[in-house]
Amino acid sequence: MFKNFNLDKLKNGLSKTKKRLFDGIQEAISTKAVIDEDILDELEEILISSDIGVDTAMNVIKNTRAELYYESDRSKLNITQIIKNELESILLKDDKIASDKSSIIDKKPHVILVVGVNGAGKTTTIGKLAYNYKNAGLNVLIASADTFRAAANEQLEIWANRAGVKIIQKSTGADPSSVVFEALENAKLNNVDVVLIDTAGRLHTKSNLMKELEKIRNVITKVIPHAPNEVFLVVDGNSGQNALVQANEFSKSTKLTGLIVTKLDGTAKGGVIIQISAEQKIPIKYIGVGEGIDDLQDFDSKEFIEALFS
């Protein structure tokens, strides 16, 4: 929808993951005259070390082995292409078309609930999303419902100002649901197109956090029956396997419609995107490849794999 995609930025952002994955594959196969079982086992280890996950890596190599059985061309270039195709197929089959501008305007406000643990980049991601929607010509409102952390309010206000959008917030300790209620009523009154709702990333216990999310969701549905339209989980690309754990936990409490993976420019663990897609079947909507306000990009699975193997 935003058409916010830059291949050079993506390649630069994925350079550490590429070094571990693609460069690792090239180094492994360059030491062998022929592709045998030993090299396939080594390739499996490389996939696992890139945080693609044990089960996913095993399936990729299993399919690669099966394809090589019927393949006369066992060249190094060909085996790299086979693995590339296998990884691409995992992402492609779970892609979903993002909401376009016309569908948002037809049924507004378009409400997006953003969840995730503290430190994943949730607050900054909301600011970048707001900027993208604003640039698409939409009227955007942010609801600062993480009232348990004073810094969240301040940080989100800074990002709202950067994006040039309005923000609804209350003092620290206020009921998050009351912030959401006020924001949605404001949105209806002022013909807002998109409402982005920030939520707490940590309460006293995990169960408290999930109950609070359920409460917020109920308030949203009461005020706007067709909402929330999207529930995005923000995970830190650096967290590797923890990102998968977070996806599992949040999925238990609320139906996730999309994943946003941040900080990919600073990690060698970008392969976790493939693992989450394979195991959770949650479509990746956006990825963060830099700290700038325009560095939240639309996720393109084909270009993602291309950037890793180019």
Secondary structure (H, E, C), 245-277: HHHHHHHHHCCCCEEEEECHHHCCCCCHHHHHH
Tokens at 85, concatenated: 């195709």
Q: Are strands 140-144 and 258-262 parallel, antiparallel or unpaired?
A: unpaired
Across residues 227-246, what is the average pLDDT? 88
β partners of residue 260: 234, 286
pLDDT at 218 over 90: yes
pLDDT at 96 over 60: no
According to the model, what pLDDT value does residue 94 have? 45
Instruction: Give the residue with greater pLDDT, 24 vs 201.
Output: 24
Q: Quick check: helix, strand or coil at residue 50?
A: coil
- Backbone dihedral angles phi then psi of residue 192, each to the nearest 5 degrees: -75, 140
With 0-12 CB in 10 A as exposed, 13-18 as middle and 19+ as buried, what is 131?
buried
Place of tokens 């999310």: 213
With 0-12 CB in 10 A as exposed, 13-18 as middle and 19+ as buried, what is 77?
exposed
Place of tokens 């499996």: 44
Confidence of residue 84 (pLDDT cuts 50, 70, 90): very high
Cβ atoms of 80 and 309 within 8 Å: the answer is yes
According to the model, what pLDDT value does residue 128 have? 95
Instruction: Give the residue with greater pLDDT, 234 vs 237.
Output: 234
Instruction: Give the residue with greater pLDDT, 175 vs 252.
Output: 175
According to the model, what pLDDT value does residue 203 have? 57
Confidence of residue 240 (pLDDT cuts 50, 70, 90): confident
Confidence of residue 145 (pLDDT cuts 50, 70, 90): very high
Q: What is the mean pLDDT of the chain?
A: 87
CA distance 99 to 163: 20
Q: How far is CA 210 from CA 116, 214, 235, 253, 254, in A?
A: 11, 6, 16, 6, 8
CA distance 192 to 190: 6
According to the model, what pLDDT value does residue 95 have? 45
| Minimum mean pLDDT range among 61-75, 178-192, 244-258 | 61-75
Specify whether the backbone of 157 is left (phi greater than 0), alpha (psi in -120 to 50) or beta: alpha
pLDDT in tens, 6-44: 778 888 888 888 888 989 998 988 877 777 888 899 999
Greatest mean pLDDT among 57-71, 178-192, 293-307 lies in 178-192
Q: Could you tell me the end-to-end alpha-carbon distance of the chain, in angstroms, rounded to an integer?
A: 26
Q: Quick check: helix, strand or coil at residue 134?
A: helix
pLDDT in tens, 262-289: 988 877 788 888 888 888 888 889 998 8
- Torsion of Cα atoms, 204 then 207 then 210 then 214, to 10°: -110
pLDDT over 90 percentage in the chain: 42
pLDDT at 75 over 50: yes
**HSE (side-chain half, CA atoms, 13 Å) at 71:** 16
CA distance 105 to 138: 8
